């Protein structure tokens, strides 16, 4: 297949040509040769939302590039959460951190000791393994159940094992889930919270993809069902701000005393321009986000049609959230990620990196234009044939 990759206006995913995208210097566009379509790293092919671009430009023009100040970040997230999810929290029980995974590690430092077990629901975001082990903690896997959903019985059994190893077990949750794109229901999260209480376990919920819950699903903040937990949120996925870092660590009401032990020097970790950008995203970026979500819904459907035509033996469950598709390629007689890279010149994530249950799968980023997505799936179909 061939595509013109024409840039159009309207949908944020349709505003950049392939030629402009290839001038980018971020890892997504520089890791592989120019003939490879990069659908791997969780970064979208969009320009900044206009309010965010204006705020960052204004700061640069004013020379406002000093040390970070948390400012209005927490208040902006609270306003967004109240409007979008009907949920609120106490801004006094928050801390601005460099990014979500830094915040996860800091929460682990507050709740655990070196060698303590951390339970993850595999397959799951690979940095859950990397950062946890680098922090000196040990990962235990509680595999997901059917359809990639949380399995409270498996979590129960795994937390019981973790409790036998340490009095300080922690469950590290992805909400929504990465890579499956499942938006956990309130009932599922309440069941998880009940299991956590049973084993005196604490939960840390990574909610970085929360702004990207798509039509047909609902986001439930984990702290709305468990006051003993921590949550992390950021604008980096919803508004494509991974390169200007900042995130918010939120403590539940009964975890506030733990948060107060957070070292003061961590306030220097976020990027000042990042705080400005993320605050603006949550406060003023709603209309742009809604346009983006509509574009992702269209791409989600397009991907389903393309796969049915080009890769009918590949399993696909349309995600509730994110711009990531978790594709079951076990019917292919090959390492799928290697096949697609070598023979289709399309880069996707190898499922094995996501832990138990990931072998034979790939994660594909559909946060791009319809033309690029169509070209990529066409190439992948040709390679599989």
For the segment 152-186, what is each residue's pLDDT rounded down to a tens digit? Answer: 999 999 999 999 999 999 999 999 999 999 999 99
- Read off the pLDDT band of 197 (50, 70, 90): very high
- Per the prediction, the chain carries an average pLDDT of 96
List, for residues 225-245, the tens digit of each pLDDT value: 999 999 999 999 999 999 999
* CATH class label, 12-48+287-384: alpha beta
* pLDDT-derived band at 266, boundaries 50, 70, 90: confident
State the pLDDT at residue 2: 37
Report the pLDDT averaged over residues 77-93.
98
pLDDT at 265: 87
Cα dihedral sign, 262-265-269-273: positive
Q: Where are the domains of the chain?
A: 12-48+287-384, 53-284
Average of pLDDT values for 31-57? 98
Selection from 33, 29, 23 nearest residue 41 by Cα:
29
The more confidently predicted of residues 266 and 134 is 134
pLDDT band, residue 65 (cuts 50/70/90):
very high
pLDDT value, residue 348: 98
Res 7 pLDDT > 50:
no
HSE (side-chain half, CA atoms, 13 Å) at 232 = 24
pLDDT of residue 205: 99
Q: Residue 5: pLDDT band by 50, 70, 90 thresholds?
A: very low
Three-class HEC string of 4-18: CCCCCCCCHHHCCCH
Confidence label for 23 from pLDDT (cuts 50, 70 and 90): very high
Between residues 73 and 6, the one the model is more confident about:
73
- Going by pLDDT thresholds of 50, 70 and 90, the confidence category of residue 46 is very high
Range 68-74 average pLDDT? 91
Do the strands 117-120 and 170-174 form a parallel or antiparallel pair, or are they unpaired? Answer: parallel
pLDDT at 4: 36
How many Å apart are CA 28 and CA 129, to the nearest integer?
Answer: 21
Taking a C-beta distance cutoff of 8 angstroms, is the pair 364, 348 a contact?
Answer: yes
The pLDDT confidence band at residue 333, using thresholds 50, 70 and 90, is confident
Instruction: Report whether pLDDT(354) > 60.
Output: yes
pLDDT 10s digits, 305-315: 999 999 999 99
pLDDT tens sequence across 99-113: 999 999 999 999 999
Average pLDDT over every residue of 189-203: 98
Residues 185 and 117: beta-carbon distance below 8 Å? no
Residue 6 has pLDDT above 60, yes or no: no
Confidence of residue 28 (pLDDT cuts 50, 70, 90): very high
pLDDT of res. 71: 81
Rounded-to-integer distance, Cα 325 and Cα 318, Å:
7
What span, in angstroms and rounded, lies between the C-alpha atoms of 372 and 304? 15
Query: How wide is the angle at C-alpha 76 spanned by C-alphas 70 and 80, nearest 5°?
Result: 150
Q: What architecture is domain 53-284?
A: 3-Layer(aba) Sandwich (3.40)
Q: Is the pLDDT of residue 3 over 80?
A: no
* pLDDT exceeds 50 at position 286: yes
Cα–Cα dist 316/181, whole Å:
11
Question: How many C-beta atoms surround the C-beta of residue 31 within 10 A?
Answer: 12
With tokens 């498996």, the residue in question is: 154
């Amino acid at each position: 297949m061939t595509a013109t990759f024409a840039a159009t206006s309207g949908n944020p995913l349709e505003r950049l040509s392939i030629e402009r995208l290839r001038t980018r210097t971020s890892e997504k566009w520089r890791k592989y040769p120019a003939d490879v379509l990069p659908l791997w790293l969780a970064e979208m092919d969009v320009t900044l939302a206009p309010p965010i671009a204006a705020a960052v430009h204004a700061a640069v023009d004013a020379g406002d590039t000093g040390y970070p100040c948390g400012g209005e970040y927490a208040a902006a997230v609270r306003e967004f959460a109240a409007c979008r999810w009907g949920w609120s929290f106490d801004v006094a029980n928050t801390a601005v951190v460099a990014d979500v995974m830094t915040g996860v590690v800091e929460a682990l430092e507050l709740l655990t000791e070196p060698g303590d077990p951390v339970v993850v629901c595999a397959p799951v975001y690979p940095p859950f393994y990397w950062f946890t082990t680098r922090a000196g903690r040990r990962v235990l896997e509680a595999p997901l159940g059917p359809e990639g959903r949380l399995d409270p019985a498996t979590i129960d059994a795994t937390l019981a094992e973790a409790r036998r190893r340490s009095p300080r077990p922690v469950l590290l949750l992805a909400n929504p889930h990465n890579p499956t794109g499942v938006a956990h229901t309130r009932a599922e999260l309440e069941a998880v919270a009940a299991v956590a209480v049973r084993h005196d376990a604490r939960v840390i919920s990574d909610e970085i993809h929360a702004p990207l819950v798509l039509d047909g699903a609902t986001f439930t903040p984990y702290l709305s069902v468990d006051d003993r937990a921590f949550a992390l949120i950021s604008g980096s996925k919803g508004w494509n701000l991974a390169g200007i870092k900042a995130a918010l660590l939120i403590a539940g009401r009964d975890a506030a005393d733990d948060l107060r032990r957070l070292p003061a020097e961590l306030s220097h970790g976020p990027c000042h321009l990042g705080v400005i950008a993320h605050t603006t995203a949550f406060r003023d970026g709603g209309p742009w986000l809604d346009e983006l979500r509509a574009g992702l819904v269209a791409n989600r459907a397009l991907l389903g049609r393309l796969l049915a035509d080009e890769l009918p033996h590949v399993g696909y469950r349309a995600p509730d959230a994110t711009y990531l598709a978790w594709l079951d390629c076990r019917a292919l007689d090959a390492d799928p990620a290697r096949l697609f890279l070598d023979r289709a010149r399309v880069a996707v994530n190898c499922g094995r990196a996501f832990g138990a249950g990931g072998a034979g799968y790939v994660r594909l980023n559909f946060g791009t234009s319809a033309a690029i997505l169509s070209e990529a799936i066409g190439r992948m179909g040709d390679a599989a044939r």
